[in-house]
Amino acid sequence: MTAAEVGRPAPRLAPSRGTRAPGAARTGLRLIRLYLASRRVLGALLVLVACALALRTALHWLPRTGVFSRQIPLIIEAGAAAAIGVTARSPFGEPERVTGRWLPVLRLGGTVALAGAAFGALAAGAASAHLAGGSIGLLRDLGGLVGIALLAAAVAGGGLSWIGPIGYLGVTMAAVTGAWATPWTWPARPPHDRGAAICAALVFAAGLAAVTLRGARDPAARE
């Protein structure tokens, strides 16, 4: 080998055109696994399963109509949303932000997957029982609450993101009993209310965009 050849890749290591390195898929899977582990996604899934069981139990005892039939499922949905928001917290902070090229994709994928899992778990928990608002209402309310949790994660940090949905739940309780008409308190609106659905979707999209692009706020002095 001459000096001119230094720095050239060895022929046997060069990937053939149009194909990926044999270890790339494995590396990608490892990256995803490490990302999910760093966000405690398994713990979040366990919380979601617990929420589904709680919803199942609650719907067994709850009356089909009345304030309780709306408020108690909503509390459980807020718990599921809070669990998703908490997973936005990164234990690595700035180093990961600087070096993680695929981080936005991982954040987007992880959050959407968890939101989907939450909807699936809660829908399964409500299967063969009467859920006020039905699946449409569940999708709208849960989506909006997840959006609030993600926005709170972007503003206050992943560890404190639960404040968003739990605080919003407090507002919603007043809205449900007071029959507020504003679509921004979407859980108090009928399931087919278009304005409420748009507001919930906007909040979900804003939360998803904030967490995807910026991530949760780094642990700061408050932590």
Partner 1 sequence: MTAATAPARSAPPRARRVPPAAAPARLLRIELRRSSMLWLLPLLAVLFYVSTYRPAMDNPPFWNIRGDMVQSRAMLVFAPLLAGAGAWIGSRDGRRGLVDLVGVTAVPRWAGQVVTWAAATIWAELLYLAGVAVLYGVTARQGAWGGPLWWPVAVGTAVVAASCALGFAAGARLPGRFTPPLAALVTFLALAGGAFAIQDNSRYAQIWPLNVQGPFPANSYAIFYPYLPDLAIAQVMFLAGLAAAALGALGLPAPAGGRWLRGAAAAITVAGLAAAGTAVGLAGTDRVEAHGMVIPALHNAASDRPTPYTPVCSHGAVPVCLQPAYRSFLPEVTAALGPLLGQLAGLPGEPVRVTQVAVTTVQSASSNGIGFGGPAIGGRPPALYLPLAGVSLPGEGSTSAEFIALLRGQYGPSIVNELVGLPASMAVIGVNSAGNPGHAAQFAVAQALDRALNGTAPARPRGTGASPPQAGLQAAVGRFAALPAAQRHAWLAVHLAALRAGRVTLSEIP
Per CB under 8 A, residues contacting partner 1 are 40, 43-44, 47, 54, 61-62, 68, 71-72, 75-76, 78-79, 82-83, 85-86, 89, 156, 158-160, 162-163, 166-167, 169-171, 173-174, 178, 222-223
**Between 27 and 182, whose beta carbon lies closer to partner 1?**
182
**Between 185 and 212, whose beta carbon lies closer to partner 1?**
185
**Between 10 and 221, whose beta carbon lies closer to partner 1?**
221
In angstroms, give the least distance from the CB of 139 to partner 1. 20
Select from 39, 201, 54, 206 the least CA-distant residue to 114. Answer: 39
Residues 6+ apart with CB under 8 A from 193: 183, 186
In angstroms, give the least distance from the CB of 63 to partner 1. 9
**Between 80 and 197, whose beta carbon lies closer to partner 1?**
80
Could you tell me the sign of the dihedral formed by the alpha carbons of 168, 125, 139, 120, in that order?
positive
**Between 15 and 43, whose beta carbon lies closer to partner 1?**
43
Q: What is the DSSP string of 122-177?
A: HHHHHTTS--TTHHHHHHHHHHHHHHHHHHHHHHH-GGGTTHHHHHHHHHHHHHHH
